[in-house]
Amino acid sequence: QVQLVESGGGLVQPGGSLRLSCVVSGGIFKIHAMAWYRLAPGKWRELVAAVTGGGATNYAEPVRGRFAISRDNDKNAVYLQMNNLKPEDTAVYYCNADITKGGRTRDDYWGKGTLVTVSS
């Protein structure tokens, strides 16, 4: 069974940094695109950053220049380095991956989320 497990969230002051990690496990044949989304109170879930299987990246405008997404294909992991954090970055961050399983079925998978709180 495919599982995505996030870690690295927490409380940080404005201007601080955090690094989120997400490790994928369980019956994987191939991981295609990977991404981070976030859900803030009173807002819709939004895409934060994504990275293709080939390493191309894209970012939401509010985080461009402050966040960096990367992946380690050997570890089946994706990371989100978040710098110069702002209170409006406060949200639950979710890892997402487009995965082909060993049985050759392809689907979209989500982690359970990790809370990031930016506050003084």
Predicted local confidence at residue 103, as pLDDT: 75
Rounded to the nearest integer, the mean pLDDT of the chain is 96
Q: What are phi and psi of 29, to 5 degrees?
A: -100, -45
The C-alpha angle with vertex 55 and arms to 36 and 94, in degrees rounded to 5, equals 10
Residue 53 has pLDDT above 80, yes or no: yes
Q: Which amino acid is at 117?
A: T
Residue 89 has pLDDT above 80, yes or no: yes
The string of pLDDT tens digits covering residues 104-116 is 889 999 999 999 9
The Cα–Cα gap between 102 and 106 comes to: 9
The string of pLDDT tens digits covering residues 14-40 is 999 999 999 999 989 999 999 999 999
Please check whether residue 12 is in contact with residue 116, taking contact to mean a CB–CB distance below 8 angstroms. yes
Q: Which residues pair with 59 in a beta bridge?
A: 49
